[in-house]
Amino acid sequence: MEICFHKYQGTGNDFIMIDNLNGAYDDLSIDQIIRLCDRRFGVGADGLILINFHSVHDFEVDYYNSDGSKSFCGNGARCSVAFAETLGLNVTDVTFMAIDGAHKAYKKGAMVCLEMNDVSGIESDGEDKVLNTGSPHYVKEVVDLTSEDVVDFGRKVRYSDKYRKEGINVNLMQSKGSDKIGVLTYERGVEDETLSCGTGATACALVHGMSAGSIGENEVFVEVKGGELLVAFEKKTDGSFRKVTLTGPAEFVFSGKIVV
């Protein structure tokens, strides 16, 4: 099968984007997806996204991790909006379907703002936190990220008896003030560190906001290895979070054709 693809990245989180609005790639197999994402034998990416036709919303974001598993991806969703614009879709105010439900988003220049789902609360696992921002995340706050090995720690948590079956993304977070944090991420499905993770940045911002943020509207700047993201949210008195948004760049890298 010959595949026309476009490569995008959002703060270093990179994706293979495929226009499947006409269903041309409906038969793409998991084995083919894994090969396409392979950095030595394929295009190379953290994940692959099919932009599918949807009867109700503007399109569907069909996301696959590099190991072929499915999840919601915040940065991938933002890159999907940027890619959808090149397909002739109006993305000044767009809605799309994803594995965790419908999302709204809009593009402004090189930036894409994505509305995330509400988060009902944050659970504790010892001194660390667990929450779902479209994908499940384990968040540990540390003093200095430069002295941490997120891959070693991430694998221990992700493959622990508690999380092995379903898997979990693992984040290390360092507070850098009331409205800024640094984040490292180990992603399930990639099974390695990624330069950025949108749902992880959101999860860490909410954990930070739980203790440092005030009731009402908050913004947290999130420094990742691939750049910076902005997470905004409304903190409620019951510990929930509403009006959660993730904003950051979504950039075209290159396009081509490959046979798999």
CATH number at residue 52: 3.10.310.10
Number of structural domains the chain divides into: 2
37, 79, 197, 204: which one is catalytic? 197
Asked if residue 95 and residue 160 are part of one domain, the reply reads: no
Asked if residue 255 and residue 178 are part of one domain, the reply reads: no
197 belongs to the catalytic site? yes
The amino acid at 243 = K
Asked if residue 173 and residue 81 are part of one domain, the reply reads: no
Asked if residue 96 and residue 62 are part of one domain, the reply reads: yes
pLDDT value for 213: 81
Domain range enclosing 218: 123-247
Q: Which of 146, 244, 252, 141 is nearest to 199 (CA)?
A: 244
pLDDT in tens, 152-167: 999 999 999 999 999 9
pLDDT exceeds cutoff 90 at 32: yes
Q: Which of 165, 246, 251, 163 is nearest to 204 (CA)?
A: 246
pLDDT value for 74: 98
Asked if residue 107 and residue 137 are part of one domain, the reply reads: no
**Cα–Cα dist 192/39, whole Å:** 13
Q: Which of 260, 247, 254, 258 is nearest to 77 (CA)?
A: 247
Q: Which of 150, 81, 85 is nearest to 112 (CA)?
A: 81
Q: pTM, whole model, 2 decimals?
A: 0.97
79 belongs to the catalytic site? no
Asked if residue 167 and residue 154 are part of one domain, the reply reads: yes
pLDDT in tens, 88-127: 998 989 999 999 999 999 998 899 999 999 999 999 999 9
Chain mean pLDDT for the chain: 97
Asked if residue 196 and residue 227 are part of one domain, the reply reads: yes
pLDDT exceeds cutoff 90 at 183: yes
pLDDT in tens, 186-241: 999 999 999 999 999 999 999 999 988 899 999 999 999 999 999 999 999 999 99
Task: Give Cα separations from 4 to 23, 35, 78, 233, 254 (angstroms).
Answer: 13, 15, 20, 37, 11
pLDDT in tens, 62-98: 999 999 999 999 999 999 999 999 999 989 899 999 9
Asked if residue 255 and residue 206 are part of one domain, the reply reads: no
Asked if residue 133 and residue 100 are part of one domain, the reply reads: no
User: What proportion of the chain, given as a percentage, has pLDDT over 70?
Assistant: 100
Asked if residue 150 and residue 69 are part of one domain, the reply reads: no
User: What proportion of the chain, given as a percentage, has pLDDT over 90?
Assistant: 97
73, 79, 113, 204: which one is catalytic? 73
**Cα–Cα dist 249/254, whole Å:** 16
Asked if residue 74 and residue 17 are part of one domain, the reply reads: yes
Kind of pairing between the strands at 59-65 and 94-98: parallel
Q: Which of 45, 3, 39 is nearest to 20 (CA)?
A: 3
Asked if residue 33 and residue 14 are part of one domain, the reply reads: yes
